[in-house]
Amino acid sequence: MAKVLAFDVYGTLIDTHGVVSELEQRLGALGKAELAPEFSRRWRDKQLEYSFRRGLMGAYEPFVRCTEEALVFTDRALRAGLSDTDRDHLMQIYAELPAFPEAEGALASLGEAGVTCVAFSNGTAAAVEGLLEQAGIRGYFADVVSVDEVKRFKPDPAVYAHLRHRLESEPGDTWLISSNAFDVIGARHAGLHAAWVRRSPEAPFDPWGIEPDLTVTDLDALAERLG
């Protein structure tokens, strides 16, 4: 079959730090606007940590639960003092995060080149569908594949096997596209090809002896190489 590109969503297509401006407003009302960038970074890091821990424990919960628990933890760790209303609002904002500026154009180019694209996420199918729709890029994807269907989280090998099963594809025909090094390593370990979207030139790749097949700076560069 033809090559299929399976795009990670959070951090790859969707800018998880798009919440910073809202954090600045909410924290600004508490006189702590300067905490916003650090709050956003810690929230994202803890969200992923909680998914890893739940995976190891065999205690799966939908990704939104990890996100909410990470928000509460970060609020406590930074002593930010957010109210329940603030946290509820921030969770709603997280469901409406923007796509990276180049995402739509790159996806359009890939589609014109005849490349099949799917979204492949730790989020539930419903959450991802809504996120991609409001970001204006849902129409570029042939399908949405969620780890929720197997109740595991990336980088569990079972989720990459599930992706191949859903796509009815061979590992050599399937590319994982992600800005998350752990996801790239997980996909390569499972026998898939993988491209790392290295959005920050300072970002190091994990020294595990498993390298991406391709490293690009953004999705435009990806479309040029794989389109």
Residues belonging to the active site: 8
Torsion angle (degrees, nearest 10) of CA 6, 10, 14, 17:
-160
Residue with tokens 């809504």: 130
Closest CA to 95 of 72, 118, 70, 63: 63
| Residues linked to residue 195 through DSSP beta bridges, in sequence order | 177, 214
Question: Taking the CB of residue 191, how many other CB atoms lie within 10 A of it?
Answer: 14
Backbone angles phi, psi at 118, to 5 degrees: -130, 155
Residue with tokens 């709603």: 92
Both tokens assigned to 73: 């933890």
Which residues 6+ apart lie within 8 Å of 93 measured at CB?
Answer: 19, 22
- Please give the Cα distance from 11 to 94 (Å, whole number): 12
Question: Taking the CB of residue 193, how many other CB atoms lie within 10 A of it?
Answer: 20
Closest CA to 7 of 91, 96, 111: 111
